[in-house]
Amino acid sequence: MFKRFLSLEWKQFSRSSYFQKGLAIKILLILAALYFIVCFGVLGVFSFFLIEDGFPNEDPLEVVNNYLVFWFLIDLGFRFFMQQLPVMNIKPYMIIPIKRETVIHYLLGKTTLSFFNILPLFFFLPFSIVLLAQGYNPFQVICWFFSMVFFTISLNYLNFLLNKNNKVFYAIVAVLGALILLEFYHIYPIAEYAGLFFNEIYNKWYAVSIPLLLMILLYRRNYKFIREGFYLDDAIRKESKEVSSTDLGFLNRFGSIAPFLKNDVKLIIRNARPKQVLMMSFLFLFYGLIFYTQDMYRDMPAFLAFASIFVTGGFLLSFGQLVPSWDSEYYKMLMSQNIPYRKYLESKWYLMVVAVVASFILSTPYLYFGYKIYSMIAAGALFNIGLNSFITLYGGVLNRVPVELNVKAKAFSNTQGFNPTQLLIALPKMAGPMLIFYLPYKFINFEAGILALALSGILGLVFKNFFLNQIEKVYQKGKYKTIAAFDEKK
């Protein structure tokens, strides 16, 4: 029966009208997957020796065990945002004589074969082989390896449950943040005490039963959860919600573009996909911590300029790149109204500008790293407002893939609205500020680079009307192609 399920799903995929577009995206995802597989494999092979050189007085296995708690918590966070849980259309199977248990076991089996479960193996397996080559007890190493596999699969089933309860996930993120801060500032040795647990799993072979039982319990809990709702009445019943109106009168000050701004704000508040993007945009504020906390990037300030664009441009880059796909479900109706296209585009521009300004205000704590870093963030904000916003709007006309506003998917793994052309549009948005900063920095000084980056944004604001007029012409020219593209159903 499982073979029949696989055959039906392949036919559904290959016969889809979006097969070619989906195939192109999947090829890019496969290349990215191969890159991460190679990185994890290399890390698994050489991490033992790197730890041995960096911590000559410590056992490399114990060092790895000390930080496994952070590994698994970060893994769970990535799964929540990026892992697309496998699903299938179960309604047809409810009216034919196929056991519910068979369908449910197949669904859970598909989650077990997720890339997020396979990727950690490319670290743990080479690392375990190195341990065997270094003379560690073979039986204990094998038990430790399978324990890591069971923990990884347990995270997969736990993520399945967390997808139904966002509050639990936010609690886990808060716990992870607290643990990292406690360890980083040497307030409490989290790694040391967590390492004791994983060291015991290695020292006592029968401790492999702990992750094994955890995996079985989570599998049973998922099975029970799906089984309870596996009825045709539940599948076809529509959830009724109380309609509530939102007063956005404060936006009236924007005049003729106020109706469009209100529509965009309501779209973000009321729909799942825009909410996900808004939440991920907030996380972009912390992107600078990757670069500003590392001394190596002090000697490569062009990368600091790159990071500064992300700190204030999260919403612009993530939400803006899907203009006008956000309106795809009612785009034909919108275009049939007697409204100036310029006002529609200008409202999107103002929305992105407000988001950049809000992100800049929220980035004030970066003053901790000094005025140079904060001035670079300010220059990056001006670049985002004055140039990146217009580049993003222009790229939207090349993106004619519809977006389902309430699709149940992860913000990163959801490829709806994705177009490979966006990768080309992303080049000037990413490389542009680095180049504008680097040339004056190289030939004059650091302050000159920041000034050049800021002035480029100010110059863009001066020519705002010119840019919007040119973008409007491009949108008007491709208006009917966009309408036709949005009419296509996946």
Q: Which residue has the higher pLDDT, 129 or 477?
A: 129
Three state DSSP letters for 80-109: HHHCCCCCCCCHHHHHCCCCHHHHHHHHHH
Domains of the chain, residue spans: 21-236, 251-487
Position 109 pLDDT exceeds 70: yes
Greatest CA separation found in the chain?
78
pLDDT of residue 476: 85
Q: Which residue has the higher pLDDT, 486 or 387?
A: 387
pLDDT of residue 179: 76
pLDDT of residue 413: 43
pLDDT of residue 217: 94
- Per residue in 131-175, pLDDT (tens digit) is 999 999 999 999 999 999 999 999 888 888 777 666 666 676 777
Share the mean pLDDT of the chain.
79
- Per residue in 391-415, pLDDT (tens digit) is 888 887 777 777 777 654 444 444 4
Residue 444 DSSP one-character state = T
Between CA 69 and CA 176 the distance in angstroms is 9
Q: Which of 117-121, 185-189, 464-468, 473-477 is the least confident region? A: 185-189
Whether pTM exceeds 0.75: no
Position 235 pLDDT exceeds 50: no
Residue 48 DSSP one-character state = H
pLDDT of residue 6: 62
H/E stretch holding 233 reads helix 232-236
Nearest to residue 461, comparing CAs of 299, 311, 350, 372? 350
Tokens 């049973």 locate to 220
- Per residue in 58-80, pLDDT (tens digit) is 899 998 998 888 888 888 877 87
Q: Provide the percentage of residues in the chain whose pLDDT is more than 70.
A: 80
Position 362 pLDDT exceeds 70: yes
Determine contact, residues 378/304, Cβ cutoff 8 Å: no
